[in-house]
Chains A and B, each alone.
Chain A
Amino acid sequence: MKDFLLVFRNEHVSSTPMLSPEEMQANMKLWMDWIGGIAAQNKLVDRGNRLEPDGKVLRPNNVITDGPYSEIKERIGGYTLIKAESLEAATELAKGCPILNFGGNVEIREIGAM
Chain B
Amino acid sequence: MLQQELIPHLFRTEYRKIVSVLCHIFGIAHIEIAEDIVSDTFLSAAELWGVKGLPENPVAWLYTVAKNKTRNHLKRDALFAQKLSKEIKYTSDTTAEIEIDLSPQSINDSQLAMIFTVCNPCIAAEAQIALALNLLCGFGVQEIADAFLTNKEVIYKRLKRAREKLKSEQIKIEQPTADEMDNRLESVLSTLYLVFSEGYYSSNQDVTIREYLCFEAMRLVCLLVDNKPTNKPQANALLSLMCYHSSRFAARTNENGETILYENQDTTLWNKELIERGTYYLNQSSQGNIISKYHLEACIAYWHTNKEDSTEKWESILQLYNKLLLIEYSPIAALNRTFALAKANGKEAAITEAEKLNLTDNHFYYSLLGHLYSGINNEQAIDHYEKAYRMAVSVTDKNTIRKNIEALVP
Contacts and interface: CB of A to CB of B under 8 A. Distances in A.
A33 B345 contact: yes
Contact of B319 (A32, A42, A47): A32
Given A33-B341, A33-B345, A47-B326, A40 B353 contact: yes
Contacts of A108: none
A37 B349 CA distance: 11
Contact of A37 (B323, B329, B356, B358): B356
A41 B358 CA distance: 8
Contacts of B325: 36, 39-40, 44
Contacts of B322: 32-33, 35-36, 39
Interface residues of B, number: 19
Nearest to B333: A40
A22 to B, nearest CB: 13
A29 interface: yes
Contact of A36 (B315, B337, B358): B337
Q: Is the interface of B mostly helix, strand, loop or mixed?
A: helix
Contacts of B405: none
Nearest to B327: A39
Interface string B308-338: 0000000100110111011001000110011
Q: Is the interface of A mostly helix, strand, loop or mixed?
A: helix
Contacts of A29: 315, 319
Interface residues of A, number: 12
A55 B325 CA distance: 32
A40 B334 contact: yes
Interface string A44-67: 100100000000000000000000
Nearest to B315: A29
A36 B357 contact: no
Contact of A40 (B319, B323, B337): B337
In order of increasing CB-CB distance, the 9 nearest A-B pairs are: A36-B322, A39-B325, A40-B334, A42-B329, A32-B322, A40-B337, A37-B353, A47-B326, A41-B356
Given A41-B356, A44-B329, A47-B326, 11 more contacts: A32-B319, A35-B322, A36-B322, A37-B353, A37-B356, A39-B326, A39-B334, A40-B338, A40-B353, A41-B358, A44-B325
